[in-house]
């Protein structure tokens, strides 16, 4: 059974990624709590800089080592080391070099496509996942960032069971259906809530671009948080240029709210390339009759207001689940909705050249 002493012994040789000193040397293992009845370990670790890709890498290593040591679940909190400790080891920190901006570099040829909505519950993440897969089915090199930090759902939607691995100083994204995926969900233990404040989340999002080994990409699809909050604004200002697709339902009020997300895109000089109307109607398998359960006209109204077009209208229908390759929100290429996503992908590829 794990004890506080054993946990400290397991972690003490891990190094602060910036000071290159062990956590034992920096007194970086601030707190350890063990709950024997649940075989759960909670640790608080202090390092030189938080909210970085290096922190994510260290977090993954801490979790792996403690689980190998016998823990069933692990909770981690990070803090920054006190100034006096940093001053003591400052000579160990590398001199700052010009950051490699990777995908954010002006020389990057990757096209960013952000999927946005004015409110939650309109199927934005479902659209992001299936649109990214549809692009990959056309032979494009595609990445997908689950940037909905508080409401991450992409790994579950795509049936992703493994986590990214670290190679050198880079995080290798998970490949699923030909799409390279990174999500906050990979770095949270047991679906725990994210309670970070805005500035730290901004650093984490920046790490998704700079600390992940994406390789050559044609498109990077971003599942944005709903609305116009801090995280969405950070992403809009962080990206050098981005195309944007707005998701709404046919209900006029949903379209009215979605227009705010469109207005943010325009103000940050991002180009809106289309609207997707989700949950457009329900079609009875028995009679073939269409029922417009959420009303009509929302997508057209929004497209008109934003001076763009409706890329697709998606009816209400579940994907066909496969027990062998479970992905609860992914539509097969020959599914009725899969074919609509294919047409959307072809239309966007044509528009973007």
pLDDT one-digit tens code per residue, 104-138? 766 778 899 989 887 778 889 999 999 999 999 99
332 torsion bin: left (phi>0), alpha (psi -120 to 50), beta (else): beta
d(CA 323, CA 151): 26
Mean pLDDT in the chain? 84
Q: Which fold has domain 105-352?
A: Rossmann fold (3.40.50)
pLDDT at residue number 202: 61
% of the chain surpassing 90 pLDDT: 38
pLDDT over threshold 60, residue 231: no
Write out pLDDT tens, residues 196-210. Answer: 555 555 667 777 888
- Min mean pLDDT across 189-198, 221-230, 320-329 is at 189-198
pLDDT at residue number 88: 82
pLDDT over threshold 90, residue 140: yes
The residue-averaged pLDDT of 11-36 equals 90
pLDDT at residue number 102: 66
Beta bridge partners of residue 35, listed in sequence order: 40
d(CA 193, CA 185): 10
Are 113 and 348 spatial neighbours (Cβ–Cβ below 8 Å)? yes
Q: Which fold has domain 4-91?
A: GMP Synthetase; Chain A, domain 3 (3.30.300)
Q: Is 349 or 89 the better-scoring residue by pLDDT?
A: 349
Q: Is 119 or 154 the better-scoring residue by pLDDT?
A: 154
4-91 with 105-352: one CATH topology? no
d(CA 33, CA 168): 30
Beta strand ranges found along 124-213 (DSSP E)? 142-146, 165-167, 170-172, 174-176, 179-183
Beta strand ranges found along 72-173 (DSSP E)? 73-80, 111-117, 142-146, 165-167, 170-172
pLDDT at residue number 316: 93
pLDDT at residue number 101: 54
pLDDT at residue number 219: 95
pLDDT at residue number 151: 75
Delimit the domains of the chain by residue range: 4-91, 105-352
pLDDT over threshold 60, residue 249: yes
pLDDT over threshold 90, residue 261: no
- The pLDDT-based confidence of 97 (bands split at 50, 70, 90) is very low
% of the chain surpassing 70 pLDDT: 85
Q: Which residue has the tokens 């190998």?
A: 68
- The pLDDT-based confidence of 277 (bands split at 50, 70, 90) is very high
| 3-state DSSP assignment of residue 125 | helix
Q: Is 265 or 93 the better-scoring residue by pLDDT?
A: 265
Write out pLDDT tens, residues 286-303. Answer: 888 999 998 888 899 888
d(CA 205, CA 221): 14
Write out pLDDT tens, residues 175-201. Answer: 999 999 998 888 776 655 554 555 555
pLDDT at residue number 99: 44
Q: Which residue has the tokens 């981005």?
A: 242
Tell me the two tokens of residue 41: 């370990």
């Amino acid at each position: 059974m794990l004890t506080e002493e054993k946990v400290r012994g397991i972690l003490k040789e891990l190094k602060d990624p910036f000071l290159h000193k062990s956590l034992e040397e920096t007194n970086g293992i601030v707190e350890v709590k063990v709950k024997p009845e649940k075989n759960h370990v909670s640790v608080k670790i202090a390092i030189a800089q938080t909210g970085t890709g290096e922190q994510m890498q260290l977090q993954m290593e801490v979790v792996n080592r403690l689980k190998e040591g016998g823990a069933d679940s692990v909770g981690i909190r990070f803090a920054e080391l006190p100034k006096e400790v940093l001053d003591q080891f400052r000579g160990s920190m590398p001199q700052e070099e010009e950051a490699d901006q990777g995908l954010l570099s002006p020389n990057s040829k990757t096209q960013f496509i952000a999927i946005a909505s004015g409110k939650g519950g309109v199927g934005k993440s479902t659209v992001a996942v299936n649109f990214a897969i549809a692009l990959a089915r056309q032979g494009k090199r595609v990445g997908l960032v689950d940037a909905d930090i508080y409401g991450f759902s992409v790994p579950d939607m795509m049936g992703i069971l493994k986590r990214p691995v670290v190679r050198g100083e880079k995080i290798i994204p998970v490949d699923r259906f030909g799409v390279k995926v990174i999500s906050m969900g990979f770095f949270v233990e047991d679906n725990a809530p994210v309670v970070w404040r805005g500035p730290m989340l901004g650093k984490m999002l920046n790490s998704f671009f700079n600390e992940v080994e994406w390789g050559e990409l044609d498109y990077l699809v971003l599942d944005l948080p709903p609305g116009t909050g801090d995280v969405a604004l950070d992403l809009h200002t962080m990206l050098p240029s981005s195309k944007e697709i707005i998701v709404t339902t046919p209900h006029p009020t949903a379209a009215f709210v979605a227009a705010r997300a469109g207005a943010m895109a325009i103000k940050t000089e991002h180009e809106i390339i289309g609207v997707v109307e989700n949950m457009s109607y329900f079609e009875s398998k028995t009679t073939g009759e269409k029922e417009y359960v959420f009303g009509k006209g929302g997508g057209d109204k929004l497209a008109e207001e934003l001076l763009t077009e409706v890329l697709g209208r998606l009816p209400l229908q579940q994907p066909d689940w496969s027990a062998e390759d479970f992905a609860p929100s992914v539509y097969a290429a020959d599914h009725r909705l899969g074919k609509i996503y294919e047409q959307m992908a072809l239309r966007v590829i044509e528009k973007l050249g």
